Copies of this chain bind each other. A is one copy, B any other.
């Protein structure tokens, strides 16, 4: 699929122009970064799903330093995009935590923290996904691959964008035949208990806000200091850092 076709097929699904462009930007970013399981293939997948393209996420509760959102039937991508837009329009002072319920699918989490980093904001984002990781000792799948993304702005150049799934491979890669189902386990080999533990912790953290429906949790701040990314790039002397193409 080429960009023109991707845009046209998103429009044909019934999204308004702004939402279609938000979705296109996410899928196109994933495609260009080689994360094909989050790219244009998801447009074909959306064409098989039943959803309301006019649904809009809602902010349902506001506390000092905390907001709670409800996807309200909108795709998770659009919920996270709306949250990012709100944060960039009214930046946290100095910190805001945002939880989102009925927020699925959330796609490539690095895309959202990169948006925030490009606006000068530090962000940590995680999201729950269907239970696909079993305990390293076996049994049924207990928790999702639950990625953790962290965006670090860089006023002097490219931000650093961490986006780590706790699975050795992604479900998307299994679906498109690029990975074997038996590799959908916590990463780390003999240290897989560590990735499993992180997936458990992130699942429980998100569920404490939103329950068992898919959700997301975001911590965003105005950095007190913002030279980490530039310093690390200098010290790394050209080595590829998280989020680099």
Contact = CB atoms under 8 A, between A and B. Distances in A.
Interface of A: 63-66, 93-97, 122, 124, 135, 137-140, 142-143, 148-150, 152, 160, 162-165, 168, 187-191, 194-198, 200-205, 207-211, 219, 221, 223-226, 228-229, 232, 235-237, 239-242
26 contacts: A63-B95, A65-B97, A95-B97, A122-B205, A137-B239, A137-B240, A139-B236, A142-B232, A150-B202, A150-B205, A160-B201, A162-B197, A162-B198, A162-B200, A162-B201, A187-B191, A188-B191, A188-B195, A200-B242, A201-B242, A203-B228, A204-B232, A209-B223, A210-B224, A211-B224, A219-B219
User: Which label, helix, strand, loop or mixed, suits the secondary structure of the A interface?
Assistant: mixed
Copies of this chain present: 2
A97 B236 contact: no
B189 A241 contact: no
Contacts of A97: 65, 95, 97, 219, 221
Contacts of A203: 228
Q: Which 10 pairs show the lowest CB-CB distances between chains A and B?
A: A65-B65, A64-B64, A150-B201, A162-B201, A208-B223, A152-B204, A197-B242, A187-B191, A204-B228, A66-B95
Given A66-B65, A208-B224, A194 B164 contact: yes
A7 to B, nearest CB: 31
B187 A211 contact: no
Contact of A221 (B122, B208, B223): B208
Contacts of A143: 232
Contacts of A190: 189
Contacts of A93: 63
Contacts of A229: 204
A150 to B, nearest CB: 3
A89 B228 CA distance: 34
Given A65-B97, A148-B201, 4 more contacts: A64-B64, A124-B201, A139-B239, A189-B190
